[in-house]
Structure 1
Amino acid sequence: MDKTIKAPVSSTAFTDLVGVDHPIALAPMAGAVESDLAAAVGNAGGYPIMPFSWSSRDTIEAELTSLRSKTDAPFAVNLCLDMPQEARLELCLSHRPNAVHFFWGDAAPFVKQVHTNGALVIQTVSTAIDAKHAVDAGVDILVAQGWEAGGHVRGMVATLPLIPAVVDMAGSVPVLAAGGISDGRGLAAALCLGASGVVMGTRFLATPESAAHSEYIAQLIAAQHSDTLHETDLYNVGWSNAAHRVLRNAVANRWLAEGRPSNNTRHRSGETVAMRGSAPIKAYQSTTPHHSMTGEIEALSMWAGQSVGLVNSVERAGTIIDSIMEHARAALQMR
């Protein structure tokens, strides 16, 4: 491969800052990203972000210890700021992550603490105004999340117009593109828009290292681009007033057909539809279908971005990263 083509893809402001080979970060998908998937991405030259927003102290300790045993690659930890996270932040920092990624809130109050502990600060933003506030606060890396993204989505601007707007506001701060990106063409497009890399979630669900349930993965592979919904009050049990993108299923289709009824009146409200060990999973609960769950997996919140139509097979995380890099280089060579 011509090195003049390879270099702009493999080395960016983001990869240089965090110390990884490839400008591909693993989205912090709670319930799907555990140490196996994070290590696989890290060992393949990507950048794993571990989700701990709802995790217990024991889980955080166990997962980070496990990750360290499987890879020496740099990694970040993710915390959602829609709830108090001071204790989890302190614990995570004690494990010396490369960075802390904040989502659904303002990272500014935590920047000094994270920097003092030798880590970088990453924040997800959904507008250029949010980007300016984050940069002014000393955030080191921005994730610009377009509304095509799967799972919980803060903004309403699509990825294509959002990325250059955030890049222009960010100045020298690296920007990662998130939302609707599942292959090398998406990475190439993000780089052309000024991003320093991408954050990908949906594509990495369909891997043997993922902790996602096999039925969930099968539904992802069968889905088309138009098979997702962006709603606020659908899977809102456990996390209310938080917009999200999921695959359509029978539960969602009936809820839509009945005019989006409230939590108290909608079909199957309060019913247990699945179990994770001895813990019941209720209808409309905001939770990822984990491989340990039993019951009506299809009725659960199967998070997926609009790029789901590009996910057609189960492949190892390292194979996916190699393919993304190869196709991104080919796409950029055509310019």
Structure 2
Amino acid sequence: MKKDMGNRFCTRFGLTVPVVQAPIGSASCPELVAAVSNAGGLGILSGTWREPEVLRGLIRQTQAQTTRPFGVNLVLAWDMTERLELCLEEGVRLLSFFWGDPAAYIQAVHAAGASVFHTVGSADEARKAADSGVDVIVAQGWESGGHVWGQVTTMALVPRVVDAVPQLPVLAAGGIADGRGIAAVLALGAEAAWMGTRFLLTHEARVHPHYQQRLLQATEADTLYTERFSGGWPQSPHRVLNRPQDWDQAEDVIAHYDDGEAIGKLSSNLPAPDVTGNIDAMCLYAGQSVGLAQEVLSAAQLVAQLGEETDQAVRNLWNRQGTMG
């Protein structure tokens, strides 16, 4: 794609490809985040479930691998004051908030010269977030993998949110895994695509190889919107690969980390590379775009491919329009 996308969001954060790597839990790591940002996208590190000093180390490792912008995501179902302060101390200048009201945190972020992203599931939520001082809105459609905040599909949600907050950049999340999807949400008024499932299929993503194989084999019909893996986070619906028989027939302890720590049945933890045991019974997050993700690439290759595909999709659209005209 061209060096400067030209829209507000890509210009402000230096993106050459309108792609943001979603904070895919423990699968996000310094290697992935830095690679995405270095390739011209924007990487996001998940911070919520990392112990504060572990998070500090991950931020420093990411900074050692990129000089480009990257962010940290914090889930507001819990008090994130300590982790937010740590992020700002370490020089993080992009904070992404999810699943709660960000108002109490915005002043501190802005005082540090940083920007606030917030994920919403409706136009009303977007207006409220804008009124509270958020800088960028993420409109998350129901098709998304992982934890799902709203009930509206991406196609219906994004233009509603764009119209509701014309003063702010809007990013589109849910059901996007290739350049055709990126071009589609740009046409709806979004300024970049927020993609999680597709980045699970990168060499850098910290996920178990069997999990990646399951993703490669899945179709658009192979996910389930459920609350089965909500232990420790009640009423937190999510989308995962759909094989309930694996969950129901599993033992109480389904797997172990390499240090011997047990993973219980219906744990919300996704399978890391060092896990051994019944991977199929674990929480295999995936969005409905999973059928479009058909190969494992490096993060740099993926970002470059997405840029090329987006350009091609836009050219194809113009060619069809010209033919029709």
TM-score, normalisation: structure 2: 0.94
**AA in 1 matched with 2:279:** I
Residue by residue, what CA displacement relative to the aligned partner does 1:248-273 show, whole Å, maximum 9, x if unpaired?
12xx1377xxxxxxxxxx6657x110
Residue by residue, what CA displacement relative to the aligned partner does 1:114-143 show, whole Å, maximum 9, x if unpaired?
000110000000000000000001100000
1:84 deviates by 1.0
- Where does the alignment leave 5 or more consecutive residues of structure 1 unmatched? 1-5, 256-265
**AA in 1 matched with 2:305:** S
Alpha-carbon distance in 2 for matches of 1:302, 1:206: 13
**AA in 2 matched with 1:37:** L
Alpha-carbon distance in 1 for matches of 2:232, 2:262: 13
**AA in 1 matched with 2:256:** M
Distance 1:21 1:254, change over 3 A: closer
Residue by residue, what CA displacement relative to the aligned partner does 1:270-292 show, whole Å, maximum 9, x if unpaired?
x1101122321111111111111
Distance 1:59 1:68, change over 3 A: same
Matches within 5 A, 1:112-261: 112-232=107-227, 234-249=228-243, 252-253=244-245
**AA in 2 matched with 1:272:** V
Alpha-carbon distance in 2 for matches of 1:13, 1:300: 40
Match in the other structure for 1:321: 303
1:7 deviates by 5.4
Query: Is 1:30 equivalent to 2:19 in the alignment?
Result: no
Match in the other structure for 2:88: 93
Alpha-carbon distance in 2 for matches of 1:169, 1:178: 17
1:20 deviates by 2.5
1:223 deviates by 0.4
1:298 deviates by 1.0
Which residue of the other structure, out of 41, 47, 54, is the alignment partner of 2:42?
A: 47
Distance 1:9 1:325, change over 3 A: farther
Which residue of the other structure, out of 100, 104, 107, is the alignment partner of 1:109?
A: 104
**AA in 1 matched with 2:299:** A
**AA in 2 matched with 1:296:** N
Q: Secondary structure at the match of 1:226?
A: coil
Is the CA contact 1:9–1:23 (under 8 Å) kept in the aligned structure 2? no
Is the CA contact 1:9–1:329 (under 8 Å) kept in the aligned structure 2? no
Is the CA contact 1:126–1:146 (under 8 Å) kept in the aligned structure 2? yes
Alpha-carbon distance in 1 for matches of 2:285, 2:129: 27
Alpha-carbon distance in 2 for matches of 1:168, 1:162: 10
Is the CA contact 2:39–2:303 (under 8 Å) kept in the aligned structure 1? yes
Is the CA contact 1:21–1:45 (under 8 Å) kept in the aligned structure 2? yes
Paired positions, count: 316
Distance 1:254 1:288, change over 3 A: closer
Alpha-carbon distance in 1 for matches of 2:309, 2:13: 23
Is the CA contact 1:11–1:22 (under 8 Å) kept in the aligned structure 2? no
Q: Secondary structure at the match of 1:225?
A: coil
Which residue of the other structure, out of 73, 76, 81, is the alignment partner of 2:71?
A: 76
Query: Is 1:12 equivalent to 2:4 in the alignment?
Result: no
% same residue: 40
Runs of 4+ in 1 over 4 A off after TM superposition: 6-9, 266-269
Which residue of the other structure, out of 283, 286, 294, is the alignment partner of 1:312?
A: 294
Distance 1:240 1:314, change over 3 A: same
Is the CA contact 1:102–1:124 (under 8 Å) kept in the aligned structure 2? yes
- Where does the alignment leave 5 or more consecutive residues of structure 2 unmatched? 319-325
1:11 deviates by 2.8
Residue by residue, what CA displacement relative to the aligned partner does 1:173-221 show, whole Å, maximum 9, x if unpaired?
0000000000000100010000000110111111111101100000000
1:98 deviates by 2.4
